[in-house]
Amino acid sequence: MTSQELSFAHRFLPATGPGRAPLLLLHGTGGDESDLLPLGQAVAPGAALLSPRGQVLEHGQPRFFRRLAEGVFDEADLRRRVEDLAGFIGQARDAYGLPAPVALGFSNGANIAAAMLLLRPEVLAGAALVRAMTPLAEPPRADRAQADLGGRPVLILSGAMDPIVPAANAATLARQLGEAGAKVTHRTLPAGHGLGQGDLAALSAWFGGLGR
């Protein structure tokens, strides 16, 4: 099912079973609104899936926000795009009758989900962040964010051989989210930057453990 009436091009697949939180699927650079649907169906069978397409083009490839170089983000654009995406999520919740979703993001999609947790924590019920890195040089003050993120489940899956995300950077993100009150699980898998079977197994276990 697609809709052109909301602010992002997207696909929506209704839930086929009870008890699962809806998933917000956020693709990596060069992906689109169909890219992560098979992953969402595999790791959270029966859940409603909401999958928008990033509105920034980098050499013709969709992204969710601009970057100045690999690993160097345009933070002003990132903050604006977080607000745009938050607005879309509100529209989609109204249109499809959804509770707050749990994000499942890969690479660029994981980075905007991490930024949303820090900047607009009320929008998401949790997040699984695959190959995420720290999105903000100056995250919001922990004393303000503590009550906002309290208890939200967050999974971070890093790759031990990832050439893009340094291990220390991913560890910083895990610390920032934990200080903001999230319940963080950070795992480093024997993988590079791409998705693999280890990610599928870890995501399936984590989503299976969420409240049902």
- Which residues are catalytically annotated? 107, 162, 193
DSSP sequence for the chain: -B-SSSSS-EEEE--SSSS---EEEE--TT--TTTTHHHHHHHSTT--EEEEPPSEEETTEEESS-EEETTEE-HHHHHHHHHHHHHHHHHHHHHHT--PPEEEEETHHHHHHHHHHHH-TTS-SEEEEES-----SSPPPHHHHHHHHTT-EEEEEEETT-SSS-HHHHHHHHHHHHHTT-EEEEEEES--SS--HHHHHHHHHHHHHS--
Q: How many angstroms separate the CA atoms of 49 and 55, rounded? A: 19
Distances (CA, A) of 48 to 99, 110, 164, 199, 202: 10, 19, 31, 20, 20
Give the torsion sign (CA, 191, 196, 199, 205).
negative
